[in-house]
Each structure stands twice: as C-alpha cells, then as structure tokens.
Amino acid sequence: MMEAIHDVYSKLNGKFKGDLLRPKDDGFEEARVIWNGMFTRVPGVIARCADVTDVQAAVRAGFESGVLTAIRCGGHSLAGFSTCDGGLVIDLSKMRQVAVDADARRARFSGGCLLGSIDSATQKAGLVFPSGVVSHTGAAGLVLGGGTGWLTRRFGLSCDNVEGFTLVTADGSLVRANSGENADLFWGLRGGGGNFGVVTEFEVRLHPLTSVVLVEGYAADVRRTLELWREFMPQAPIDLKWNLDLRLAPQSPDVPATLRGRPVAGNSLIWTGDEDLAERYFTPALALCEPGSVKIRPISFLALQTMADAAFPHGRRYYTKSGYFVFLQDSTIDSLVEAVATIPSADTQIELAYLGGAAAAVEAAETAFGDRSAPFIMNLLANWQGAAVDHIHISWVRTLFEKLRPAMKPGVYVNFMSGDEQDRVPEAYRSHWKRMVAVKSHYDPQNFFRLNQNIQPTTG
Ligand SMILES: Cc1cc2nc3c(=O)[nH]c(=O)nc-3n(C[C@H](O)[C@H](O)[C@H](O)COP(=O)(O)OP(=O)(O)OC[C@H]3O[C@@H](n4cnc5c(N)ncnc54)[C@H](O)[C@@H]3O)c2cc1C
C-alpha cells in the first residue's frame, strides 16, 4: 500500500490543480476529518480536486495504482465511507458551483456541494430542490442514495428530481447519464449511492416555494402520539409532513421545566399548502403537545433548512440502524415506548417519518431507490461523546433494532445504514438487485468504487 500511494502522489504531483495533501502537510489534519467522530482514519493522500480534469486524473491514478479510494462530498457518511487508512481520498469540497436557470426551473450543481449552497442559490430565484434537513450535509451522497427531507411528500425524493448526471467512471472517462444517454446508469444512480463513479455534476428540477408553516412541540404521552400519528398520516394531504423524534426532552429554556429530561415525542410538522388551511391539519398534534412547548410560525425555507444544523455537530460519535414499516403495530409501539425510557444519551433519537405522497407516486421500477411501498421509515440514531462508552450506545441501538425487526418490511434506506451492515445491501435493493449488479458489473467491473453500501460486480 505504501508504495502504491507514493505512486499515486507521483502521478498527480505537478499536474494536479487542486491540493495534494500527505500526512505531514499543512492542512492535512483538518482535511482528513469527517463528520462522524467514530472514524479517525489517516489516508495516504487527500486529492482535493479543483475541477473535473483533476477528478479524472485522481481516479486514473488511484485505479492504476490499485489503492483503496474513498470519494468525499460533504463527509457525512454515517458509515464513514468518505475516508480510509493509507489510501486515496478524492475530495470534492472545492467543487461547489451552483447555476440556476430560473425560467426553466432547473439547476446544475457540482459534485462537492453541501445542501446549504444549493438552497442559498435556488432561493434567490424563489425555487427549491427537495433534499435533506441539515444544511451541512453533502448533496452528492444524499442524492445518490435517494434523499428524503421536508419536501419529500410534496415533490418526491431528491433522486426523483434529477434529470441528468455527469460522472467520472473507473477508467477516468467522463460519462453522461440521463433518460436518453446510458439509461441503465441513469436508473442506477438514482438510489445506488456512489457505486458507479464520481458524479461531478447533477442537473435537477426545481419547484417554487419560499416559506412554510412550522409547528414544533413536545408530547409527554409517547404512546398516544404514536397511535394518533399512525392513523392520521395515511389520510393526510401531501402538503403535510409530520416527523416524530422520540427522545429525552432537552434541558433547554425552550422546554417546560416539567418535561426536561423526560421521555417525549418531539413533533415537527410543516405545511406547504394554503396557509389558511394549515391549522386544521395541525390540530390533532397540537392537542397532544404540552401547550408551553408549542411553537407555531411561518418560517422561510432557508430557516427551515438550517434549524437542525446545530443538533448534529461534527465530531461527535454516531451509530445508526434503520428500517421500514408498512403499519405500526401495537407491539411495535409498545417497544418504542419502552425504548425511549431507556435511551442512554440525551442526544440520541428514534426518528420517525411518514413518506408516501409524491415519493410513493413514482413507479418502483423507475429508479434504483430501494422501497417506496412501506411509508413508515424509522432511523435509530445514537449520538454521544467518548469512545469508552461506545459499547453502551451501539448495543442499545442493536438490541432495539433486533426487537423491532420482525415487524418491519425487509428493506433499508442506504443512507441511514452503518458501516457494519454489508449483509443488508441486497436487502436494501430487493427486487432491483439483479439489475443493480448488472449495471455495477458494466461500469465498475473491478469494484474500484467500493467504499459505499457496496454492490459487488459479478466480474470483479
Ligand atoms: C447530520 C446529517 C443529516 C442527514 N440528514 C439526512 C436527510 O435529511 N435526508 C437524507 O436522505 N439523508 C440524510 N442524511 C444521510 C445522508 O444522506 C448520508 O449521510 C449521505 O451519504 C451524506 O452525503 P455526503 O456527500 O455528505 O457524504 P460523504 O461522506 O461525502 O459520501 C457518502 C457516500 O457517497 C459517495 N459520494 C460522495 N460524493 C460523491 C460523488 N460526488 N460522486 C459519487 N459518489 C459520491 C461516497 O463514496 C460515499 O460512499 C444525513 C446525514 C447526516 C450526517
């Protein structure tokens, strides 16, 4: 590996326009850090590309030298896939251009963009690209895996709004994928993660929206909230998104003193339709929330997109497991209520969202995204500090997951998986699996792009 990584450096040195960083170089320590503090790996070279030609050169050098290569956009992979020990990291963080065509309601953005850079650019034209809920998340990893967020019910998954990709494949070629060119690759890239190449540009559809109505509030009766939510959401209009976070109520002046530190259901609802109709759809949730905890307000789209940023800081330790439910059975609700009472960290959350809406209206075969038929999506997200207590938090997640699993629909959203779940990758794609393997085998037969929820090629 040592010799191979020297070879990569020599191949790039002199012609690379971006930054080439090795362990003793200034800036290397900052550059090697990714969001999840569980992963402190030390790459041999970080190639921070200035443009597409740099990406091609880095891919060719990594491929020819046979070094383990990680691709990084925002570095938010929960599984730690955007770094590696001793290998090459192709870092796209200098490639954050966004071009908006307001009349056509289209945008093009580069492969290193964070969600926040896209939101800021599109909002200047009063338009949105439906993406995730934390603005410091990388767009490339999120969109390639699917992409869920506040606007999923209204406008679909992020990947449903992509019209075309430009990517560098394992041999260094620049390839376009859209409905008319490389259609199989276009299909695979919408849900298949980073398996096929380094995406240098996304072409996407935008929608008009500048503000929403937001309700937030804590309910002490977790069971009743879950029961009401499971009955209410299947009939709700697509303008309503109602997320639940089961957790210990924060020790914050915003939370009534009687609730702080107690198990609660955190309710966050947005309404994207006619403001006058909002209240009628908020009423059931409001009836369960502690009145002193309720905030109801119109909020700009940019404020909505950044309001959770501070809750998920860089450098803490995170571990996740995720799954889908067709329906929340009473026994599942019992387990969730018990689990929230034993949560080992004040920052850990059981995140629950109801998809459906525009995301469910897209035909299953149209994209590689795993499952659109089970609307209840759950993410167990442990969040703590200190390596000495890793086992407590990881084991809480694993135990709860095993308990809930029999009631789940097999399947998992690849962006909510940890790095120890390779055995679940076929489960994530289920009916799409054979086609995914065929696309992977065609575009990356040697499995050069393998630091991802990996689809192994048949020829690799
Ligand atoms: C704080 C936080 C909030 C989140 N919120 C949401 C949410 O609201 N909705 C949601 O759907 N998901 C969410 N996620 C999950 C998120 O979608 C994934 O973590 C995603 O991988 C992050 O993308 P990234 O570009 O930052 O990741 P990176 O760590 O940079 O990369 C992740 C994967 O994508 C590949 N990759 C990165 N860039 C490229 C590229 N240009 N071309 C090809 N492959 C590439 C990498 O090889 C790697 O396998 C969240 C994650 C975090 C940490």
pLDDT of 175-215, one tens digit each?
Answer: 999 999 999 999 999 999 999 999 999 999 999 999 999 99
The answer to whether residue 460 scores a pLDDT higher than 60 is no
Pick from 240, 325, 322: nearest CA to 283:
240
Task: Give me the amino acid identity at 55.
Answer: V
The pLDDT score that the predictor gives to residue 19 is 98
CA of 28 to the centre of ligand 1 (A): 22
Interval 271-300 mean pLDDT? 92
CA of 81 to the centre of ligand 1 (A): 9
Alpha carbons 357 and 228: distance in angstroms, whole number: 19
Of the pLDDT bands very low, low, confident and very high (cuts 50, 70, 90), residue 1 is low
Which atom of ligand 1 has the smallest separation from the CA of 452? 49
The answer to whether residue 88 scores a pLDDT higher than 80 is yes
Task: Render pLDDT for 48-82 as a digit per residue (tens, 0 to 9).
Answer: 999 999 999 999 999 999 999 999 999 999 999 99
The pLDDT score that the predictor gives to residue 284 is 86
Beta bridge partners of 398: none
The answer to whether residue 459 scores a pLDDT higher than 90 is no
Q: What is the mean pLDDT of the chain?
A: 97
CA of 147 to the centre of ligand 1 (A): 9
CA of 235 to the centre of ligand 1 (A): 31
Alpha carbons 365 and 191: distance in angstroms, whole number: 12
DSSP-derived pairing of the beta strands 69-72 and 88-91 = parallel
The pLDDT score that the predictor gives to residue 2 is 80
Find out whether the beta carbon of 92 lies less than 6 Å from any atom of ligand 1: yes
Ligand 1 mutation pick, 51, 52, 54, 82, max ligand atoms within 8 A of CB: 82
Task: Render pLDDT for 256-268 as a digit per residue (tens, 0 to 9).
Answer: 999 999 999 999 9
Find out whether the beta carbon of 147 lies less than 6 Å from any atom of ligand 1: yes
Q: In which element (H, E) is residue 6 found? A: helix 2-12
The pLDDT score that the predictor gives to residue 42 is 98
CA of 140 to the centre of ligand 1 (A): 6
3-state secondary structure of 353: strand
- For the four alpha carbons of 392, 222, 254 and 308, in that order, the dihedral sign comes to positive
The answer to whether residue 340 scores a pLDDT higher than 90 is yes
User: Hey, what are 288's tokens?
Assistant: 């369960």
Which atom of ligand 1 has the smallest separation from the CA of 36? 53
Residues whose CB falls within 8 Å of the CB of residue 10, separated by 6 or more in sequence, listed in order: none
Residue nearest to atom 51 of ligand 1 (CA): 76
The rounded percent of the chain whose pLDDT value lies above 70 is: 99
3-state secondary structure of 448: coil
Q: In which element (H, E) is residue 360 found? A: helix 357-361
Judge contact between 285 and 217, C-beta under 8 A. yes
Find out whether the beta carbon of 81 lies less than 6 Å from any atom of ligand 1: yes
Residue nearest to atom 28 of ligand 1 (CA): 75
Judge contact between 250 and 383, C-beta under 8 A. no
Ligand 1 mutation pick, 76, 314, 377, max ligand atoms within 8 A of CB: 76
Task: Render pLDDT for 382-414 as a digit per residue (tens, 0 to 9).
Answer: 999 999 999 999 999 999 999 999 999 999 999
Residue labelled with tokens 């980073």 = 194
Q: Dihedral angle at the C-alpha atoms of 274, 275, 278, 280, nearest 10 degrees?
A: -90
| DSSP structure class, residue 138 | B
